[in-house]
Structure 1
């Protein structure tokens, strides 16, 4: 491979390929974590609901009714707390991904600027030697 072709390949890798790989990797990590958090939350909500349904099936007298009502009130509070925590977790994941993406974009712009300045300098040197 000629030096010019090798240099063009290296520049293409620096400007496009490497940043796209980095971004895609970060995006996949984000989506993996977000989907996992959502699946965990859905499982927890389903488990809470099934437990409450089972408790209501056992209601047969005033005492068991009181127990079911008390349990439902506690479960509602637990569910609200879980919603809050899950929302905070997803918000944090989104913010982290956004910050990483912004950092990668800034680094890529720096790399593009460096490559452009180097190429311009080389062109200037060649023109000067003509």
Structure 2
């Protein structure tokens, strides 16, 4: 009787609990990477905005206005480049998580089928 209960517990552990734990760890890693990327992006965008505001506050004449406009164009170019990179980073993080999740689901299904055959 004890061997049957122990075997059942092992099957439940290997079929459900271990895969769930693995998925949860993977999801936590994913969200940590995603939130970190978002915070980095927000910080960079804020820094760009504040720097640009300071540039405009320094305008005192036509030459200053010209420099501020040039700075504005450069900032927009940098911002678009940064947004592109941030988008690619988030896409990469998401694709990696999806690939890992799919692999875990396939392994879990395979394990469950093997356990059911026993």
| TM, length-normalised to structure 2 | 0.98
Shift of 1:46: 0.1
Q: What CA RMSD, in Å, does the superposition of the two structures yield over aligned residues?
A: 0.9
Unaligned runs of 5+ in 2: none
Partner in structure 1 of residue 59 of structure 2: 59
Give the 4+ runs in structure 1 shifted more than 2 A.
Answer: none
Shift of 1:116: 1.1
CA distance in 1, matches of 2:57, 2:84: 29
User: Looking at CA atoms only, which structure, 1 or 2, has the larger radius of gyration?
Assistant: 1
Unaligned runs of 5+ in 1: 119-130
Partner in structure 2 of residue 6 of structure 1: 6
CA distance in 2, matches of 1:49, 1:112: 53
Partner in structure 1 of residue 95 of structure 2: 95
CA distance in 2, matches of 1:85, 1:4: 55
Q: Secondary structure at 1:14's aligned position in 2?
A: helix
Partner in structure 2 of residue 111 of structure 1: 111
| TM, length-normalised to structure 1 | 0.89
Alignment length, in residue pairs?
118
The residue correspondences of 1:18-57 to structure 2 (distance < 5 A) are 18-57=18-57
Q: Which has the higher contact order (CA 8 A, sep 6+)?
A: 2
